[in-house]
Amino acid sequence: MQRHYPAFREMRAEAGRPLPRYVQEEFDAYLKCGRLEEGFLRLRCERCHAEKLVAFSCKKRGFCPSCGARRMAETAALLADEVLPERPLRQWVLSLPYALRFLLATDPDAMTLVLGVVYRTISRHLIHKAGLTRAGGATGAVTLVQRFGSALNLNVHFHLLFPDGVFLADGSDPPVFRHVAAPGANELQAIVEQSAAGVGQVLERRGLIERDIENAWLAGDGGGGPLDDLLGHSITYRIAVGPRAGQKLFTLQTAPARSPEWLDDPNGAARAGGFSLHAGIDIAPHQRPKLERLCRYVSRPPVATERLALTSSGHVRYALKTPYRDGTTHLVIEPLDFMARLAALVPQPRMHMTRYHGVFAPRSQLRAAVTPAHRGTGAAKQSAMAEDSARPPTPRHVAMSWARRLKRAF
């Protein structure tokens, strides 16, 4: 990184497409992360007088493996301890067509629109399956937006954690939870088709896409951004810079190719118009360790250092988490192209990667009643109702101390 990043930055500037400021800050901060010469904290034990120097970290959210791992542990602890209730939960994973991956990677408002359509579609399915209406039932979800795939490619997709049921909005305290059965194949197919249609309609109304009877395409203004070429090549698994720009990445095929029968998708995902929806992972109320592991997975950093290595020729070799159908197990990436792939993964400033919906939203009247932390808009009302009732008040969650938080993260 320290050797090739300056050359990559100069190459982009000479091409008339300099790196945006937030991307340069990401690289510069990463090169200083964890280095004692860039600043440190001196710790000293009062009992044994042992000392330790702890280097400052960059605290960025783009591709730093160290800071990303700490954020992963902290996010998982927050969701498992303070947000997601002890109710049946289900993960819904939505993948998007290539064109929408590009749009959502560059337009935070478009991401909000698309995510809103997807949440409302799944929420409506749960409420109807519970035999309720929107006035009589409430749902919620926590969405973690991932920008990357297993090949260090730009792949914007959503992990939505839904309670596997509906809270009855009948004024009871705490709200009654009505469990619903897992979605069947036909239900999953209907949801993904409704989501695809709804996303197309809302983006067309906003003038972000144009459609005819057979096709749809982005309605760009022709201006383009400084990272558009890097984003496009990353999405389509192609080389972004150098004399081989636009060509497919060099791969190593060390596993046998899979048979055509594997294409039937044994994971049970439903597909429609480039969208893919999977809802096969569920968590029982007592499986809190499993929930935290899932939260760690969906909030993990993009670069897995244990799968990263350098070849004798100085190229980057990156192992895939799961071999491709053709037997590909590794990607071999030139150093400058590796810089380009990292630059494409950096989110824009003020692009929120964790979203709270429904009963988990900050202003929801039910948030305090359904979350383990009992914090939110209705917290004061809930405390007053508990004091007036004959039963003892519900124990409130105590914020995690810094010592416990550090132990949990490391």
* Structural domain count, the chain: 1
Q: Which range has the worst mean pLDDT, 23-37, 264-278, 323-337?
A: 264-278
Q: Which residues span the domain enclosing 20?
A: 5-409
DSSP 347-367: PPTT--SEEEEETTSTT-TTH
| Mean pLDDT value of segment 250-268 | 65
248 versus 125: the higher-pLDDT residue is: 125
Q: Is the pLDDT of residue 259 over 60?
A: no
For 53-81, the pLDDT digits (tens) are 999 999 999 999 999 999 999 999 999 99
CB atoms within 10 A of CB 410: 8
Cβ contact 142:83 at 8 Å: yes
Tokens of 309: 């290595």
For 129-153, the pLDDT digits (tens) are 999 998 889 999 999 999 999 999 9
For 10-51, the pLDDT digits (tens) are 999 999 999 999 999 999 999 999 999 999 999 999 899 999
Q: How far apart are CA 56 and CA 37, in angstroms?
A: 10
pLDDT in the model for residue 402: 62
Q: Is the pLDDT of residue 170 over 80?
A: no
- DSSP classification of residue 248: B
Residues 6+ apart with CB under 8 A from 186: none
| Mean pLDDT value of segment 266-285 | 90
Question: How far is C-alpha 25 from the geometric centre of its chain's CA atoms?
Answer: 22
| Mean pLDDT value of segment 255-279 | 75
Looking at the chain, the whole-number percentage of residues with pLDDT higher than 70 is 88
Residues 6+ apart with CB under 8 A from 298: 91, 144, 146, 159, 161
pLDDT in the model for residue 250: 81
| Mean pLDDT value of segment 273-285 | 95
135 versus 409: the higher-pLDDT residue is: 135
pLDDT in the model for residue 232: 93
